[in-house]
Structure 1
Amino acid sequence: MTERLRLAFMGSPDFSVPALRALHAAGHEIACVYAQPPRPAGRGQQETPCPVHRAALELGLPVRTPARVKRDTAEHEAFAALDLDAAVVAAYGLILPLPILEAPRRGCLNIHASLLPRWRGAAPIHAAILHGDAESGVTIMRMEEGLDTGPMLLKGTVPLGPRATTAELHDALAGMGANLILRALDENPPAIPQPEEGATYAPKLTKADGLLDWSQPAASLDARVRAMNPWPGAYFPHGRESLRVLAAEPAPGTGAPGEVLAGPALTVACGEGALRLTRLQRPGRGAMDADAFLRGYPLPPGTRLG
């Protein structure tokens, strides 16, 4: 590292933690860490700090957890008073207003988990898997008021195999983002404006995005299972329950969409082809391979799934 910079770090989920640790290990001065406020979690619904908050405390770094910053002038003033060289933002989860974006001398640099301008927005990793992209990556960009529209400083690319999952891609891009932000701060590369051609948007996911619609092609449902694991989770209703599908793969077979087909494995007919469900979970139960699941929850051939 050629220069020790005074930074703020703004992030919340697991994706952001490798970058925070890398900046700290590289010797940068982290004046403050900003994270989403603690929220109720677990069976006891106890207030629980987010992963970045916990990592910051472990590293002995000061933490602020404002519920909002967009119109809070006191927060704007407190941020400006930090006298920062730059702010590093990684999946923070709050919209940053112009007073925040313009306060650091080198601006706010965002670690975005896609090859911009493809998959701007909240769920770029899921979108890449869901839409069968051949590659994904990380873009380091200088933030502006538009949604992920700022100029680009660095990119890193990773190929996506046909069985790639959101969980695997998440971990690969988190590590890549940590390495790229160190380079961006060290090298201070020129900013390149994003082209509007090819821009796509990945909206925030909801539970409904995990619903398996058996009228869709098996290849599309396979991608949805891989994209929605671990959250929000792929599922289908059956009886009074929603059964979660943790792993699946396309398989030969024909039948009415949603029909369980005859054979040694749990295979369901789709709008095109069939989907073999290999790992499932009932509400409040542990995950099981299909054979063990069927011993306690029979789904005989001819059953129609919701």
Structure 2
Amino acid sequence: MKLLLLAHAFNGLTQRLHCALRGAGHEVSVELDISDAVTEEAVALADPDLVIAPFLKRRIPESVWSVRPCLVVHPGPPGDRGPAALDWAVLRGDVEGGVTVLQAIGDFDAGPVWAWRTFALRRDASKASLYRHEVTQAAVEAVLEAVDRLRAGAMAPASPPHLPPPPTWGGGWQGPVPAAQRAIDWSRDDTASVLRKLRSADGHPGVADVLFGRSCRLHDAHEASAAALQRAPAGAPGSLVARRGPALLRRTVDGGVWIGHVRCEPPPGQPALKLAATRAFAAESAALPELEVPLQRDAAEWDELHYAESGADGQRVGWLAFDFHNGAMSTRQCERLRDALRLVRMRDTQVLVLQGGTDFFSNGIHLHDIEAAAQDAGDSAADASWRNINAIDDVVLELLTLTDRLTVALMRGNAGAGGCWLGFAADIVWAHGGVVLNPHYKNMGNLYGSEYWTCTLPRRVGAARAAEVSQRVMQGRLPLSAAEAVSLGLVDAVLNAGSDGLPQAAQTRALALAAAHNHAERIATKQRARAEDEAHQALAAYRDQELQQMHRNFYGFDPSYHVARHHFVTRKPHAWTPRHLATHRP
């Protein structure tokens, strides 16, 4: 079928559907929802069999839905209506959520139901994480089912199942969550209540609060362990008592929470940026004690980095896990990961698994942090970009030169730009079946890219295919499913285990690698290949060539990168749909 995806933005769900629908053999184009007139023009040009709206903030115009079928993805179970179904579900503590695919009519979420899915809600997950995993997976399944039914000529929608309503909810319209219902009373709310409120607003809009006398919105919350609370100074509920990495420790009536990121009310004329809490309140944070933890520790003790080992002597697997909020890696975070790699290379392991976060493996350099540097006296966005790209290059260099063991990148979540090439630098890449990869840079103001991609690309796909794959991936700029990445040679295997089973599936594979009879032979082959590659062209030469191009992007006369970055972090509305997405436009 000819399909047109109509979306407010080309977000993760829309990208996953783009991959899945293309993989199912459909012809897919995209139009961003800018205005009714633009939508009408897009439908006239594309002449689709079906319009699918995965992510909208406005109604589809009647001039479109009245003349051709339009399906809307609603992140709530059948009978639910309104723009904040997931917010309410997390805030209430529901145990079940759902996704419904409805036919568009004149009212929001009120049309005939063509397909649906329900799922269990993870108790410790934020709204944003649920959307990226359970909602996205359910939406893909439901949309594919609805498309198949329409393609087969079904004349009537599906009959919604009988769903017992969650406690306190009887279905029907639910508007946005009032700010008062998410407001935290630090003198009364226990830790569970605080986390539920924060997680229900994570991603957007965040919970309005005050830190150090300044209005801001709180994001990225983690429960503090009993051990951390014992080490931290005493304080009344609501007081800020310690720091760790990006986060500030705030006491509750029965414990405490780490607040990882904030979006402060900016001075007039400046953008509101989401930054690490210790970055946004650098001077105030410096006065608090730092509760450092070792890299190898109990996994229940929160930090951005964690290391563990498994397996018998001589068959050991090291697991270096990193989980950076939204996959963005600031200079500080890159330096921490680089130092961790230097530390774990001293361990006697046969395999090292580099495990990214549940939601994102990595999205490369930290654009919000770079944007903030433009407001700092004595700094600039160009200088911050230069520091950040060199810092992430240092991380990749550690991985590329770790030649005495096999390295594996485990992509549990999506990855983009330099974050993809960080993973591709490993000897072996495993990706979850639902992962979407965007291993290109040009969407961010025509960036050239670094992270040794010019070395890694031919190494992974072969010299004969390097030009072809580069043209498709780096110039085509379309998202890739994990399966597509395997077909190109960028990923070695897709792990289709569910989220709960993925760590065990990866563990089994990694232990098998470490215990393989030909392990020593593989290491010798790897070392010879690295030596031959270095003799042909040194890693330093690849880096220098890439950074020459990046220096022009950061400091040159063309401001495209700085403009694109500013628009990205400030969420500027789209004025047009990029032509690589809108293939229906000439």
Query: Above 0.5 in TM-score?
Result: yes
Counterpart in the other structure of 1:225? 198
Matching residue's letter, 2:17: A
Counterpart in the other structure of 2:288? 298
Detail structure 1 runs of 4+ shifted over 6 Å in the superposition. 205-210, 250-253, 292-295
Partner residue of 1:6 out of 2, 5, 15: 2
Summarize deviations over 1:144-190 as a string: whole Å, max 9, x none: 11110111121111101321211221112113212221121113464
Paired residues of 1:112 and 1:138 also in contact (CA < 8 A): yes
Counterpart in the other structure of 2:93? 132
Confirm or deny that 1:34 pairs with 2:7. Answer: no
Greater helix percent: which structure?
Answer: 2
Partner residue of 1:247 out of 218, 221, 224: 221
Paired residues of 1:166 and 1:226 also in contact (CA < 8 A): yes
Taking a change above 3 Å as real, the CA distance of residues 178 and 123 of structure 1, as seen in their structure-2 partners, is: same
Counterpart in the other structure of 1:183? 145
Aligned partner of residue 8 in structure 1, secondary structure: strand
Matching residue's letter, 1:68: S
Q: How does 1:9-88 map to 2 (within 5 A)?
A: 9-11=5-7, 12=9, 13-30=11-28, 32-36=29-33, 67-69=34-36, 72=37, 76=40, 79-80=43-44, 82-88=46-52
Summarize deviations over 1:10-30 as a string: whole Å, max 9, x none: 112333211122112222123
Paired residues of 2:3 and 2:52 also in contact (CA < 8 A): yes
Counterpart in the other structure of 2:251? 268
| Alignment partners' CA distance in 1, 2:143 and 2:284 | 47
| Alignment partners' CA distance in 1, 2:113 and 2:256 | 41
Counterpart in the other structure of 1:96? 60
| Alignment partners' CA distance in 1, 2:89 and 2:27 | 34
Aligned partner of residue 274 in structure 1, secondary structure: coil
Taking a change above 3 Å as real, the CA distance of residues 103 and 171 of structure 1, as seen in their structure-2 partners, is: same
Q: How large is the RMSD of aligned CA atoms in angstroms?
A: 3.9
Taking a change above 3 Å as real, the CA distance of residues 245 and 276 of structure 1, as seen in their structure-2 partners, is: farther
Matching residue's letter, 1:217: D
- Larger relative contact order (C-alpha < 8 A, sep ≥ 6)? 1
Structure 2 regions of 5+ residues with no counterpart? 230-234, 242-247, 265-272, 290-586
Taking a change above 3 Å as real, the CA distance of residues 103 and 268 of structure 1, as seen in their structure-2 partners, is: same
Counterpart in the other structure of 2:186? 214
Work out the number of aligned pairs and report it.
250
Structure 1 regions of 5+ residues with no counterpart? 37-66, 300-306
Matching residue's letter, 2:251: V
Aligned partner of residue 247 in structure 1, secondary structure: strand
Summarize deviations over 1:68-126 as a string: whole Å, max 9, x none: 21xx4x8536525643321111113232122211222xx111121111222x2223222
Greater strand percent: which structure?
Answer: 1
Aligned partner of residue 203 in structure 2, secondary structure: coil
Deviation at 1:246, TM superposition (A): 2.2
Confirm or deny that 1:153 pairs with 2:114. Answer: yes
Taking a change above 3 Å as real, the CA distance of residues 236 and 256 of structure 1, as seen in their structure-2 partners, is: same
| Alignment partners' CA distance in 1, 2:83 and 2:67 | 24
Taking a change above 3 Å as real, the CA distance of residues 103 and 286 of structure 1, as seen in their structure-2 partners, is: same
Partner residue of 1:286 out of 261, 272, 276: 276
Taking a change above 3 Å as real, the CA distance of residues 79 and 245 of structure 1, as seen in their structure-2 partners, is: closer
| Alignment partners' CA distance in 2, 1:115 and 1:277 | 31
Paired residues of 1:80 and 1:103 also in contact (CA < 8 A): no
| Alignment partners' CA distance in 1, 2:86 and 2:94 | 10
Q: How does 1:196-211 map to 2 (within 5 A)?
A: 198-204=170-176, 211=183
Matching residue's letter, 2:19: R
Summarize deviations over 1:175-234 as a string: whole Å, max 9, x none: 321222112111346414779x93244445798886533356323322111122232223
Matching residue's letter, 1:191: P
**Identical positions, percent:** 24
| Alignment partners' CA distance in 2, 1:116 and 1:165 | 22
Counterpart in the other structure of 1:113? 75
Partner residue of 1:166 out of 112, 127, 134: 127
| Alignment partners' CA distance in 2, 1:293 and 1:250 | 23
Counterpart in the other structure of 2:292? none
Counterpart in the other structure of 2:505? none
Taking a change above 3 Å as real, the CA distance of residues 16 and 293 of structure 1, as seen in their structure-2 partners, is: farther
Paired residues of 1:79 and 1:103 also in contact (CA < 8 A): no
Taking a change above 3 Å as real, the CA distance of residues 16 and 215 of structure 1, as seen in their structure-2 partners, is: farther
| Alignment partners' CA distance in 1, 2:77 and 2:93 | 14
Matching residue's letter, 1:88: I
Deviation at 1:260, TM superposition (A): 6.7
Highest Rg: 1 or 2?
2
